Amino acid sequence: MYGLIHNALRSMVVQEHGEPLWQLILESMEIEADVFLSMRQYDDSTTLSLIAASAQATNMEVDAFLGSFGYYWLTVFAPKDYGPLLNLTGDDPFEFLRNLNSLHERISTSFLEFRPPVFSVKYISDECIELQYNSTRKGLTSFVEGILRGLPIMFNVTMVVELMERSAVQQGEQSLFRIMKVGAQRGRS
Amino acid sequence: MTANNVAHLLDGLFATCFTIDANLQVSNPTSTLKSYCPGIEPGKSLLDLFEVQRPVLVHGKMILKEHLNSLFLLVAQDHSIALRGQVVQLEGDKGYRFVGAPWLAWMSEYRPQVALKINDFPIFDSQLDQRFHVATQELMVKDLQKLTGELMQARDAADDANRMQTDLFAVMSHEMRTPLHGVISALSLVGNSDNEGEREQLVDVAQKSALGLLNVINYALDYSKIEAGRMKLDSVEFGIMELTRSVADINIGKAQEKGIELIMNVSADVPRYLNGDQDKLRQMLVNLTSNALKFTDSGRVVVSVGIDEFMNLELNAGQALIRFSVSDTGCGIPDKDLQNIFEPFWSKNGAANTDVGTGLGLKISKQLGKLMNADIMVTSQLGVGSAFSFTVALEIISRPSVKTLQFDSKALPNTLSGRVMIVDDNKTNLMLTEMILKKFGLEVKAVSSGQEAIDLASSIPFELILMDITMPGMDGIEAARQINQQMLTPPIVALTAHVQPEMIDDYLANGFKGYLRKPIEQLELIRELNLWLPAGKNTKPLSIEPSKLPVINHKTLERLNVQIGEINFVRVRRLYLDETKRRLSNLLAAWVRRDHDSLALEAHTLASSVSSFGCDDLAWRMNKIDKAIRAMDMSDVISYMKDIEKHAKESLNEVEAYVFKSSAS
């Protein structure tokens, strides 16, 4: 995965637990340099090990940690540098999710090795959709769940996110979420 | 394809389109465009609706057919939107159609509040991609700035380290040259002097200078160890009186020389025995005391030890807060210098230290204190004196165990007999060691390489080999390994400056029977020689009480055999032999490492276990070793440790033989 993810992880751990803990995590992985180049592709195993080590260091289960990381990614890290592009992606959570594939396609023009997940949106009603997440990577459903839980903050709405299914497929992972808007919607925050 | 069809096709590709006729009148805007720019109404002129930034109009006129390949940048006159696109000609004189998308750069700059959508931009429109790319590039710049910052920090740290190393080298060179000069000058004068008294004085100067040189080297080694983070805390039991006495012993000469009173003051309420890093505490106190003596010309230096009743530190059960302080009636330190005195190489004059030491003593003490969570505090008054103090949490020991044995070399024979080989590639060391050994009346053969040692060991029998470890070509470990493969191998003792526990274990594993630290200390050499060599002619041998007990007590073994039965006996015998050999090996390793606590423990345990298997002589010897250690009598320990391996082997062989005979009968 790209160094951008590592930098986001670093940012979250440092912000929530302090620099010394991050240094301990790097030491535990015997990583000497504390600089990840955002556009450099790192081996997936490095990223996943960093996540596992961070979860352990913060006394969290890996899935719970990934959930927090997804939430942080959408609500704090991505808006900092890519805010205008996120804003273009939609005016409400459902539109955002509908356009997520388009956003990823655009990103692919800069991140040449980008292997984005694919999302399918199925409208159950105006207030309810089912979102299918398909990825060639295993184990990142909780990260997506964290992102979905961050959407209400981004759009200043109330939503219920429910993970309906999660299954490993031949190469990667596939999950199904049900997302329901609740109450009067207030628009982007 | 009709013009309408073409327009429809274009509208499918572009979100913002409108038609322009020959008179520049606008019609058929797409719904997306209308949503952003409600003022766009059919019939209005392009130039009334938009400010045309590109193409550049000549005399305010727009001839569309001349700009079919131009980039169009249009800004709505009401600034509701800006567009980026081009104009295509419709078939059949149906005019032109503007096709494009919001002009993202302009919108972001001037109308950021307008919520554009990702689908407002055609897939092949690179505006979004560029935007994303720029944002990512900005991130990359930030990454590189961070990386550069870290590299610069690392470079500065390396520069600092280099500078420190250069300073250290310069100071060390100076500090070493001074005593070395004393050694060389004194020794060169010895040869020219016929006056016995003068010769003795010169030798004394040379010896003191050499000790000074050793001191400087020890400082440098300690400093480099601390800098490399290799200094670890040790935990040993020690007597507080012994600690202060040793600090006084080291400094009393200097105090007497300067006519300064050196007072050691230990409060009555300080526990007599403590557990902590005695060596580092001693080093701190020695450094602080020697520093106080340097800057005191008259009066006194007082080393005090007391209970710290004021420091608020959380203590573990059984710990006490001990406060050490060294005060003097010296010249004092100006306030402005107080913050610098713990910097390496700092001197009173602010320049590199030149005449009062390495400039490392206080720095080393400060670092050693840090290791023990103790901060050295200093108070000073110009012309009155200074006081350095620190407080350490130490475990209180009610009953001390044995760590340091009293060593009275006079109790040992002053001459020895036997042939000894010395192996060392350094000719000076070789010659000096040879001279020392000859003074003991020993026959000495000196060789300077591992291969020569192997050749000589195979042609002449030796009672002992002293082997250097680091030699060019074959090192001492390999040479010892090869010699040990021969029959009738003499004990081999390592001569080395590397005496860390793991190194000693390595020597033992490679067949060495002991080690001597370089430079060789006289008492250590006497200890080792007496361990392996018999007393010389006309010399009183080591006086130990001879054993009157049988090697093996058959009655004990027979009783055991009857009690547990022959089958169990055979099984227990194997366990016994294995366990005894393991403990013997521990005992010998503890002896080599000078770990007298472990030595006493192993001897005590062995005395009891070998006795239960009828090895009365061996049990008696183990008891003697245990008692000699408890009595802190090094000469007795040496006497009983001598040949202990041989006696143990004899006892175990008999146990094994007894079982064989019993089974056979």
Residue B78 belongs to domain with CATH number? 3.30.450.260
The token pair that represents B100 in the structure block:
């494009």
Least confident of B237-251, B408-422, B580-594: B408-422
Residue of B nearest to A8 (CA): B139
Instruction: Identify the band that residue B14 occupies on the pLDDT scale cut at 50, 70 and 90.
Output: very high
Clarify whether residues B21 and B140 are in a common domain. Answer: no
pLDDT digits (tens, 9 = 90+) for B464-480: 999 999 888 899 999 99
Distance from C-alpha of B233 to C-alpha of B395, rounded to nearest angstrom: 14
SS3 A90: coil
Clarify whether residues B120 and B140 are in a common domain. Answer: no
SS3 A169: strand
pLDDT digits (tens, 9 = 90+) for B498-517: 777 778 888 888 889 888 88
Chain A contact probe: residue of B32, B118, B143 with most A CBs at under 10 A: B118
Strands B26-27 and B16-20: antiparallel
- B133 with A81: Cβ contact below 8 A: no
Q: Which amino acid is at A97?
A: L
pLDDT of res. B348: 58
| B516 contacts B499 by C-beta, under 8 angstroms | no
Mean pLDDT of B269-298: 89
Domain end, chosen from B396, B426, B453, is at B396
The token pair that represents B615 in the structure block:
């090895």
In chain A, what are the domain boundaries?
Answer: 3-59, 65-181
pLDDT of res. B356: 45
Q: What is the largest CA-CA distance in chain B?
A: 136
Distance from C-alpha of B132 to C-alpha of B138, rounded to nearest angstrom: 10
Measured between beta carbons, the chain A residues lying within 8 angstroms of B119 are 99, 102
Asked if pLDDT for residue A25 goes beyond 90, the answer is yes
- B135 with A91: Cβ contact below 8 A: no
Distance from C-alpha of B380 to C-alpha of B334, rounded to nearest angstrom: 8
Look at the block and give the residue holding tokens 């280099």: B162
* B596 vs B577, higher pLDDT: B577
pLDDT digits (tens, 9 = 90+) for A80-91: 988 888 888 998
The token pair that represents B638 in the structure block:
């040496």
Clarify whether residues B221 and B246 are in a common domain. Answer: no
CATH number of the domain enclosing B353: 3.30.565.10
Cβ neighbours of B489 (radius 10 Å): 15
Instruction: Determine the distance from the C-alpha atom of residue B540 to the mean position of all C-alpha atoms in its chain, rounded to a whole number.
Output: 47
Mean pLDDT of A42-65: 93
Clarify whether residues B481 and B630 are in a common domain. Answer: no
Measured between beta carbons, the chain B residues lying within 8 angstroms of A36 are 143
How many beta-carbon contacts under 8 Å exist across A and B? 73
pLDDT digits (tens, 9 = 90+) for A81-121: 888 888 889 989 999 999 999 889 888 887 888 889 999 99
The token pair that represents B89 in the structure block:
């000609």
Tally of residues, chain B? 665
Of A87, A93, A31, which Cα lies nearest the Cα of B117?
A87
Domain end, chosen from B125, B159, B175, is at B125
Tell me whether 0.85 is exceeded by the ipTM.
no
Domain of B522, in residue numbers? 418-532
Measured between beta carbons, the chain A residues lying within 8 angstroms of B136 are 4, 38-39, 81, 110-111
Q: Which residue from B108, B126, B140 is facing A84, i.e. has the nearest CB?
A: B108
Phi, psi (degrees; rounded to nearest 5) at B439: -65, -25
Chain A residues touching chain B at CB-CB below 8 Å: 3-4, 7, 33-39, 81-82, 84-85, 87-91, 95, 99, 102-103, 105-107, 109-111, 188
Residue of B nearest to A108 (CA): B129
Query: Is residue B547 in a domain?
Result: no
Clarify whether residues B244 and B380 are in a common domain. Answer: yes
Clarify whether residues B19 and B119 are in a common domain. Answer: yes
Query: Is residue B409 in a domain?
Result: no
Clarify whether residues B247 and B206 are in a common domain. Answer: no
Chain B residues touching chain A at CB-CB below 8 Å: 108, 112, 115-119, 123, 126, 128-129, 131-133, 135-136, 138-140, 142-144, 146-147, 150
- Measure A181 CA to nearest chain B CA, in Å: 21
Instruction: Say which CATH topology domain A65-181 has.
Output: H-NOX domain (3.90.1520)
Mean pLDDT of A29-34: 77
* B226 vs B287, higher pLDDT: B287
- B119 with A85: Cβ contact below 8 A: no
Measured between beta carbons, the chain A residues lying within 8 angstroms of B140 are 37-39
Measured between beta carbons, the chain A residues lying within 8 angstroms of B139 are 4, 7, 38-39, 81
Number of domains chain B is built from: 5
Of B64, B71, B129, which Cα lies nearest the Cα of B100?
B71
Query: Is residue B360 in a domain?
Result: yes
Return all residues near A179 (Cβ < 8 A) that are at least 6 apart.
A93, A94, A97, A128, A129, A130, A131, A148, A159, A160, A161, A162
| B490 contacts B461 by C-beta, under 8 angstroms | yes
pLDDT of res. B354: 39
Query: Is residue B84 in a domain?
Result: yes
Q: For all residues of chain A together, what is the average pLDDT?
A: 90
Question: Within B37-124, where are the H helices?
Answer: 46-49, 104-110
Asked if pLDDT for residue B350 goes beyond 50, the answer is no
- B150 with A81: Cβ contact below 8 A: no
Look at the block and give the residue holding tokens 């567009």: B83
Strands A172-181 and B16-20: unpaired
- Measure B584 CA to nearest chain A CA, in Å: 41
Clarify whether residues B67 and B139 are in a common domain. Answer: no
pLDDT of res. A184: 59
The token pair that represents B225 in the structure block:
């160890």
pLDDT of res. A158: 92
pLDDT digits (tens, 9 = 90+) for B631-663: 777 778 888 888 888 889 999 888 888 754 544
- B135 with A85: Cβ contact below 8 A: yes
Clarify whether residues B499 and B570 are in a common domain. Answer: no
pLDDT of res. B242: 80
pLDDT of res. B353: 40
Mean pLDDT of A71-77: 96
- Measure B105 CA to nearest chain A CA, in Å: 11
Asked if pLDDT for residue B285 goes beyond 80, the answer is yes
pLDDT digits (tens, 9 = 90+) for B431-446: 878 888 888 888 999 9
Instruction: Identify the band that residue B194 occupies on the pLDDT scale cut at 50, 70 and 90.
Output: confident
Asked if pLDDT for residue A63 goes beyond 70, the answer is yes
Domain end, chosen from B125, B158, B176, is at B125
Tally of residues, chain A? 189
Residue of A nearest to B144 (CA): A37
pLDDT of res. B347: 62
- Measure B139 CA to nearest chain A CA, in Å: 7
Clarify whether residues B37 and B170 are in a common domain. Answer: no
Asked if pLDDT for residue B538 goes beyond 80, the answer is no
Look at the block and give the residue holding tokens 């608020």: B312
Instruction: Identify the band that residue B545 occupies on the pLDDT scale cut at 50, 70 and 90.
Output: low
List beta partners, residue B51.
Answer: B75
pLDDT of res. A179: 96
The token pair that represents A1 in the structure block:
């995965």
Distance from C-alpha of B209 to C-alpha of B215, rounded to nearest angstrom: 10
Q: Which residue from A37, A95, A109 is facing B143, i.e. has the nearest CB?
A: A37
Residue B567 CB burial class (10 angstroms; 0-12, 13-18, ≥19)? exposed
Q: For all residues of chain B together, what is the average pLDDT?
A: 84
The token pair that represents B527 in the structure block:
């200890």
Q: How far apart are the first and last CA of chain A?
A: 30
| B102 contacts B111 by C-beta, under 8 angstroms | no
pLDDT digits (tens, 9 = 90+) for B579-589: 899 999 889 88
Distance from C-alpha of A84 to C-alpha of A94, rounded to nearest angstrom: 18
Strands B261-266 and B300-307: parallel
CATH number of the domain enclosing B660: 1.20.120
SS3 B307: strand
Highest mean pLDDT range out of A124-128, B162-166, B524-528, B660-664?
A: A124-128
pLDDT digits (tens, 9 = 90+) for B219-229: 777 777 777 77
Clarify whether residues B214 and B355 are in a common domain. Answer: no
Chain B contact probe: residue of A36, A80, A91, A110 with most B CBs at under 10 A: A110
pLDDT of res. B84: 94
Measured between beta carbons, the chain B residues lying within 8 angstroms of A82 are 132, 135
Q: Which residue from A7, A88, A107 is facing B117, i.e. has the nearest CB?
A: A88
Chain A contact probe: residue of B128, B138, B151, B153 with most A CBs at under 10 A: B128
Q: Tell whether the torsion through CA atoms of B578, B579, B581 and B582 is positive or negative.
A: positive
Clarify whether residues B164 and B242 are in a common domain. Answer: no
Q: Which residue from B128, B142, B144 is facing A85, i.e. has the nearest CB?
A: B128
Chain B contact probe: residue of A38, A40, A154 with most B CBs at under 10 A: A38
- Measure A186 CA to nearest chain B CA, in Å: 15
Mean pLDDT of B233-254: 82
* B548 vs A146, higher pLDDT: A146
Measured between beta carbons, the chain B residues lying within 8 angstroms of A90 are 117-118
SS3 B422: strand
* B439 vs B262, higher pLDDT: B262
Q: Which residue from B115, B126, B146 is facing A91, i.e. has the nearest CB?
A: B115
Strands B377-381 and B385-396: antiparallel
Residue of A nearest to B125 (CA): A106
- Measure A35 CA to nearest chain B CA, in Å: 6
